[in-house]
Structure formats: structure tokens, C-alpha cells
Structure 1
Amino acid sequence: MSFFNRAGLLAGLMLAAGAAAVQAQEVTLRYSNWLPAGYALDVELMEPWIAAIEQATQGRVKIQKSPKVVGSVASQYDVVADGMADMSLMVLSYAPGRFPQVEAMELPFASDDESRTSPAVWATYERFLADKDVFPDVVPLALFQTGVFHVFTTGRDLSAADNWKGAKIRTSSPSLTRIIELLGGTPINKPVSEVYELASGGVIDGATTPPDALLGFKLDDVLDTMTFVPGSLGSTTVLVSVNPDAWARISEADQQAIRQVSGAAVARMSGDLHRKETEAAIAAMQAKGMTIHRMGDAELARMKERVAPLTAEWLEKAKAAGMEDPQEMLDFFHAQLNRPAG
């Protein structure tokens, strides 16, 4: 064997050994946790997913949850981007206007079946947004939705479109804010963690929230009346991402293993979880004797007519953000929501 062949063989062996060493490297990701103890999203989705990541990487990638939130709940995207934490869950609507493309999937009346919404969100993201640098400062691992939104009040019946006029309603997204405005109400943009104090103090008349969040944050003590809106008022989209520098410490093989248990897999888990949680929450409300109104067909049609400008406004906003054909993405999202089960 010539010197050059031996040198080439040695170099190849060294590269292989180096790759194996990198693959075997252990990495611990610091996860900024802000969900309340025992909350289903944490216990039944994030915890199993964290375990799945550790299993898929044979223990080389571990995720260490912080005892309390790093930074503020609303700033989790920047917390991860700036490396204050390696990983976190971010409610995108807590940064209104920053991610306009995603807002299409939060428009109202799309679906009130959570088992469909999260998978549709991930499929739409992969098809239209994954290569568009929508989240340029982080590495996205999962995009899904929480439970769909209805409205809860301190006694006010909002099953008639006219009854929204003058109502002070907590909102948490640009879409929900605009719905309340178009119906003549006053939107109060606050995190769900502040709703109890606002409602008990009479600052708000009600709040838009998923039913499971109402119980999870113990808001049923102050919000005793629900108005169920067929098709729902929309949902809020959640991003789980990793800091790019932290991601780069993970071997390519382990990155691929993590992606296998993220994305579509997490979307399915989220959909099944939130459908179950919504059904259980409504059953618990009925057992407790809460008043539940259901918006009828005529009032729903009246509501849709008044809220119609919202979709046109989003289309213009998406074009301004650089999307060539936002209607195509919106149509694809609705088609995914209406796909036959199975």
C-alpha cells in the first residue's frame, strides 16, 4: 500500500471515529417551562414527547425543564432565539403581528374538532411555510394548536350576535381581537393567567378560551356561562423550537431521530389530547351546572357576515408579508380539516 493510500485510509478512519464520537455526544437542552403543574398539555403531551426524544436518541439528548419560566410567557420565542433557554413552547398569538402567515390557521369557523386542527396545521406548515423562514431565529420542531376557542362570561349570553355589543372580552390573538371588534365588543388582550383576577374584579365580562383551559386555570369559579360557537372562534397556534446553537451540538443522526418523533407525530398527539380534554371539560361543566348556550344557525350566519372582513384582511396582510398566493394556503388548510377520517 502506498503512502498516499495509507494516509487516505488513516484520514478516513479518523473521520469515521470523529463522526462516531460526535454521534455519541450527550446534550442536555434547558427547557423553559411555564405551564401550570398538572396541566394536561404538559403532562400528556410535553412530558411524553420529552421521553420520546430521549428514547429516540438512546439517552444522548436529554431535556431539563426549568422550575419556572425563563423571561416572560409572551417572550418565549426570543428567550430561545437569544439562548436564555435552549427550548420552549411559544403561543404565537402572544406576539401579535409577528408571524402573520400563521394567522390563517387561527381564523374562525374552520372546525370545532381538535383531532383535525393540529394535524392540518402541521401539514399546511410543511407544504407552504417550512422553507419560507417564518421562524428565522430558531429551529422549529413542532407546530400545533390548543383546544378550539369558545366564549365564557360572568353570566352574559353571547349566543346572539347583537349581545356582543359593548361586552368587554379577553382575547389572546389578532384574529380573536378583530372578531370582538367587528361584533361591537371591546377586546382586552391579556394572557390566560390574568383572566381570573380580571373577571373577579369586573374588568372583563368574559374571555375567549378553550374549555379545557377554563378548567385548567380554574376560571370556572368566575366565568359560569359558556357560549358554544359551531365551528369555533378559531384556535391558537403553538410553536416548540430549539436554539440554533444548541441544535448544532446534537449529532445529525440524533437530529433526524428527534424530527421523527416531532412534527406530524406531535400534531397527532395534540389533536387527540385536546379533543379528549374539550369533551371532558364540557361534561364537567354540565355536571357542575354551568349554563351552556349554543349559537343557532341564524345567529351563526349573522355572526359570520359581520366577521367576514377578517379573512380579506388576512389575505392582504399575508401578501404584504411576501406570500404570492395566500388563498391557496388557506384552501389547502380547509381541505386538510375536511379530509375523511383515517
Structure 2
Amino acid sequence: MKKTLISMAAVALTSLTGLAQAQTVLTVSSWLPPTHTASMAQKEWCDLLTENTKGRIKCNILPRGVTPAPGTYDAVKNGLADLSYTVHGYTPGRFVMTQMTELPFLGNSAETISVALSRVTGKHPEFAAEHQGVKVLTLFSHGPGIVFNTKRPITKVDDLSGLKFRVGGGMVNEMSKALGMNVTLKPAPDSYELLSSGVMDGTLFPAESTESFKIDKIIKHATTFPGGMYNTSFVFMMNQAKYEKLSPEDKKAVDDISGETAARIFGRGWDKVDRRAFALMQANGVVITKADAKFVKEVKDKTAPLEQAWVKAAEGKGLKNPAKVLADFRAEIIKLEK
């Protein structure tokens, strides 16, 4: 009887040890606060992965980022974190193909733009190949870009001159220059200090960011554009070595909720907080100006050369027929917004 009990205990211990060894813990980093919609979307994705793998994969979400925003890509690539997201434009010149996401007047919803981006880029492996050293889980965008400032209404291109704006980099930086704006490349979390101190007069942001970065009581004016004045391209990624160590079953579980599923999680969350932020702006007396047809045409005319420049640059990086890829992207957004 004693031997039987010892044998049963040994079997149980072996089983528990096997379970412990089978569990994978992903170290998850975010350079944004835990309450930010992107951080919450990342957690939602993690929770879904844990559920779908019956607990075989769990996420250890760190209380703060392992690095400031511009270093996040390399932090994941080098294994300082297993999972995170970042803005492509925070590392200028590194990513070219994804800049198509940042062109003006693409769409009116983070979810539709993000899902369309995932669908179209998923058909072109060159986009994933541009992200050397990481496993791309999805590409996504925030909501339509708005021009915010603390000084005056902006109703035409000439109104943009004479003010100092913070921008996030990438295509929006080039677009701002084409519009004659005085811009400085700074990460989004720096916005409160820059605006409250008067170092900057304005910023280009989606609606959500006025609440997230606590500038909703500093901003006095907002100019919106149909389809957004710009968008920002993000990558949600995993350390490549960590992914490769997963079992085939767990790799499939990751892949099954990557791409469009992950893009929808990030985009849907962003749209929700964009709507809330507009209500807060109204409550705080922010004057909201809708760009008229003349203003929109001015912006289109001045930024049109950037599209051709992107086509040429993307072709140089190995993307086949970039003009068609961009056209397909726009068509997919239109289809999703119907």
C-alpha cells in the first residue's frame, strides 16, 4: 500500500512538473500607461491567447515599459521584452512600406483602417520582411488625425504657419513640412510638458490622445478632416526566438488571433476612446473646426507629391507594384466603411 501511494505521488509530481515546463510566460512591455487603449488592447489580446491555449501561454505585463517608445522595436528584437507595440515613425528612415498608412484622408475609423491594413499587407510578405528580427503579429493604426493647438482656429493652410507643432515622425513629418508647418519630432508622452510649458503650440493627434496625455484642458482648438489629416502606423510584435520556441500547437494559437483579429482589437478600442474624447473636448470648451472642401483641396494639392515619393521608395525597398497595393488598401477601407 505504501509503495502504491509513493508511486502515485511520483506520477502526480511528474505530471505537475510537465505542466510547469509546458507553460510559456511572455514578458509584455508598454511605453504607454496601462489605462491607454493600446495597452488595454494588448492585454485583451494576451487574455485571449491564454484562454485559447488553456493556460499554456500567459503574459507577464510589466508595470512600466522596458524602454522609452523609440527603443521598443529593438527591445523586442533583442529579447528585453517578448511582446509589445510601437510607432514605425519613432525610428525615422527604418520603415518605408508601412508609411502608406500615414497618408491623408484614408478613413474615418481606426478599426476599418487597421483591418484593411492587415488584410492588404497580409497578401504581401514584403511588409513582414521589412520588420527584421521580430515576429509581426499585426499592423494597425490609430483613429483619424486631427490638428490641435492652443492659439487660434485653423481654417486654411496658411493658418498652420507661425505655430510650433509636435509630430510623431514618419510620413506625417514629411506631410507637415509640405504644408509649411514648423514641426518637432517627439514621442506622444512628451506632449503635456511641451504644450503646458509653451515650448509647442500644438500637436497632431487622434481625438483619444487629448485625454490619454492629459492635454484636454490645455488644447483650445481642433481642426478635423474627412478621413483624417493623417494616420499613424503601428506594429504589434513578438520576439522571433520566443515565437520559434513555441510548440506547433501554440504557434497556431498565436497565428489564429494575429492579423485581422489583433488589428480589430486595437482599432475597436481606439474608436471607443476617440468617441469619448470628443465628448470631453466639448465639455472643456475646445473649439472644433471642420475643414471645408477648399481647405481639404489645399492639403491634397500640397501633399500629393508625397504619395508618388512613397511609391518610388517602397518599390526601392522591394514592394511589387506599390501603387496597386495603395489602391487596394483604400478600396478595402471604403468597403469596410459602408
1:202 partnered with 2:170? no
Number of the residue aligned with 2:23 = 26
Number of the residue aligned with 1:41 = 38
1:143 partnered with 2:160? no
Would you say the 8 A contact 2:149–2:219 is kept in 1?
A: yes
- TM-score for both structures, normalised by structure 1: 0.89
Q: How far did residue 136 of structure 1 move?
A: 2.0
1:79 partnered with 2:80? no
Shift in alpha-carbon separation, 1:149–1:35, aligned structure 2, 3 A:
same
CA distance in 1, matches of 2:171, 2:247: 39
CA distance in 1, matches of 2:316, 2:126: 18
Number of the residue aligned with 2:216 = 220
CA distance in 2, matches of 1:223, 1:328: 39
Would you say the 8 A contact 1:90–1:240 is kept in 2?
A: yes
Number of the residue aligned with 2:329 = 333
Number of the residue aligned with 1:265 = 261
Runs in 1 of length 4+ with deviation above 6 angstroms? Answer: 21-24
Would you say the 8 A contact 1:24–1:60 is kept in 2?
A: no
Number of the residue aligned with 1:234 = 230
Shift in alpha-carbon separation, 1:152–1:131, aligned structure 2, 3 A:
closer
**1:187-241 deviation per Cα after TM superposition (whole angstroms, max 9, x unaligned):** 1100111111111222211000111111111011222211112221221122121
CA distance in 2, matches of 1:89, 1:221: 28
**1:42-77 deviation per Cα after TM superposition (whole angstroms, max 9, x unaligned):** 23x122211100011111111101121112211111
**1:83-117 deviation per Cα after TM superposition (whole angstroms, max 9, x unaligned):** 11111111111112211001011111111222311
Q: How far did residue 137 of structure 1 move?
A: 0.5
How many equivalent pairs are there?
321
Q: Of residues 151, 166, 173 in structure 2, which corresponds to 1:155?
A: 151
CA distance in 1, matches of 2:63, 2:217: 27
Number of the residue aligned with 1:284 = 280
CA distance in 1, matches of 2:336, 2:251: 32
1:54 partnered with 2:50? yes
Q: Structure 1: give runs of 5+ residues left out of the alignment.
A: 1-20
* Secondary structure of 1:253 counterpart: helix
Would you say the 8 A contact 1:23–1:252 is kept in 2?
A: no
CA RMSD of aligned residues (A): 1.9
Q: Percent identity?
A: 29
Q: How far did residue 81 of structure 1 move?
A: 0.8
Q: Structure 2: give runs of 5+ residues left out of the alignment.
A: 1-17
CA distance in 2, matches of 1:83, 1:307: 38
Number of the residue aligned with 2:10 = none
